[in-house]
Structure 1
């Protein structure tokens, strides 16, 4: 009789192996070749990517990565490994970490779990809000990977956890710690990663899931509409993305009387380039240069115990 042996696969986006032009170019090529990320026809996209984007962006992005790189490595990978280890310490089943792009790969993580006899796979993409460009890409990656297996595990795929009570409680606690340390700001700004508006028009419910997180958090904190705001960051290319844009908002807030702002990124399970450099460096400068006086970044939940306990709760429902 077949007996279930569960295991957990944590998945995040990924990161270059090093803050160098060659490593970043390799990573960006894999990332930007995913049709879930860029759906431009391949015949048109390949020359743009390989001739235009990669040679220009890779050195520039490598410098940005170098500005946040730590002695342990890329922040996203460092925190993701800590999350894996912390969750494993609370469980009596195997836990592996895989990345959609870069290393450790999805294949290496799945191979590791199956080598341990896992035949019941609980997949937790570390994206709180579903998007076709992130969570659906994990689904695609696993489907492609399993095409090469003779035997398949039972798969429980956690779509997202945008308004899960334990997630909202962990976010609330992180905000309250910041308020206690720095004082209550004029505005709490929640910056989520953007996607092209066209994706939403075609059915991606990501914007709604971001609002679900934001509305639940705002209610939990007892903040009014004037005390909290949602924006979208990291737009790329020329087509319209979800608005309001974080950078433009930052530049306009001081003129509206907002002089003290605290910023969080509830769409990121781990601090990474988009939070540590784009938010805490670039957007801090935008705000202060425009006349703001105080800017504090509220870190991602990373390996905070409440965050790990939330993961445990999500996983345990499929044990």
Structure 2
């Protein structure tokens, strides 16, 4: 049977998403969808929704739109651009490595291209079997679980949904750890090694962890393996958490408070910061780390904070994605 005569297998490659543009209305649409998700904000709807629609969506979109403008690329949102490049790279490698045709489609949990659009693309290509791959190395209900929720929601009205498989984390995959280590070594070769390496992960409320979310354990496992790969001692690096929202306690130590304190330290002059939980650069890495936290550190007396880019469309990153997909498609291809 020729490749053209075979039924293709689908891969839905997903990430968080981004506004369509940097206008205030576009950012408001995005935040409305994002912050309405009960996996992200699990407060009582009778309390949360009036606050969301009455205060947050009135004032926050304008400020967020200004932040997005500082990181927007000529082609659009960094996250969307890198995700599209990742999909293209994965597709090219799968085409070269497999006899069975595999179609890779992109779907964002919030915004466009949507998960629904990605599934429709795979359906139009004739895919009866679909692997759902959220590009989050560490599992959290706020990212991975809500992606699977959305896939189920879209498919519940389909007359004949496809057979599904899913990847829910790759926190300790050797290819992932190796690609992270390569990116750090390349940074050190180009810029020298800083006094400290910070591994900054997106935070979640501590309450979610008490309810059973394994996210901080996953982050700790990644950090431990990466430190071992780089030959770092415990005093050579620090794990922090960023991007907290609201007043309740989130995972600690907080990155912003750490950078302010380290800036005043007599022992720490330079800091390298990487974000191992982000498969693509986005607002939380390019604006929050490269700009905001750099200012916290340097304005408080630190000499330099250097940001190590996310893995984005590096070839070792694309190769890792491709291998994970091939392993998960065993028996289907």
Which position in structure 2 is the counterpart of 1:277?
A: 287
**Residue 149, structure 1, aligned to residue 165, structure 2:** no
Residue 91 of structure 1 is matched in structure 2 by: 94
SS of residue matched to 2:184: helix
DSSP-derived class of the 1:129 partner: coil
Counterpart position of 2:227: 218
After the TM superposition, which of the residue ranges 93-102 and 146-155 deviates more from structure 2?
Answer: 146-155
Equivalence for 1:194: 203
How far apart, CA to CA, are the structure 2 residues paired with 1:219 and 1:318? 27
1:49 corresponds to 2:55: no
Q: Which residue of 1 aligns with 2:323?
A: 313
> Any stretches of 5+ residues in structure 1 without a counterpart?
none
1:81 lines up with 2:90 in the alignment: no
> 2:8 touches 2:125 (CA, 8 Å); kept in 1?
no
Deviations 1:194-219 (A, max 9, x none): 00000001100000000011000000
Rounded to whole Å, the distance in 2 between the matches of 1:151 and 1:4 is: 16
Q: Give 1:45 deviation, angstroms.
A: 1.1
Contact 2:263 2:296 in 1 (8 A): no
CA distance in 2, matches of 1:275, 1:318: 29
Cα distance per residue 1:142-167 (max 9 Å; x no partner)? 11111011112121110100110000
The equivalent residue for 1:303 is 313
2:272 aligned partner: 262
Shift of 1:255: 3.2
Indicate yes or no: 2:179 matched with 1:176.
Answer: no
Q: Who is 1:37 aligned against?
A: 40
Supply the distance in 1 between the matched residues of 2:308 and 2:144 (Cα, whole angstroms).
24
SS at match of 2:264: helix
Instruction: Give 2:243's aligned residue.
Output: 234
CA distance in structure 1 between the partners assigned to 2:68 and 2:222 by the alignment = 28
Q: Distance in 1 between matches of 2:303 and 2:229?
A: 27
Structure 2 unaligned regions, length at least 5: 1-5, 96-101
Query: Given the two structures, how large is their TM-score scaled by the length of structure 1?
Result: 0.98
Aligned to 1:14: 17
2:297 to 287, 292, 296: 287
Matched, 1:160 2:163: no
- Other structure's SS at 1:134 match: helix
User: Partner of 1:31: helix, strand, or coil?
Assistant: helix
- Greater than 4 Å deviation, 4+ residue runs: none
Say whether 1:25 aligns with 2:28: yes
Following the alignment from structure 1 to structure 2, what is the Cα–Cα distance between the partners of residues 79 and 225? 32
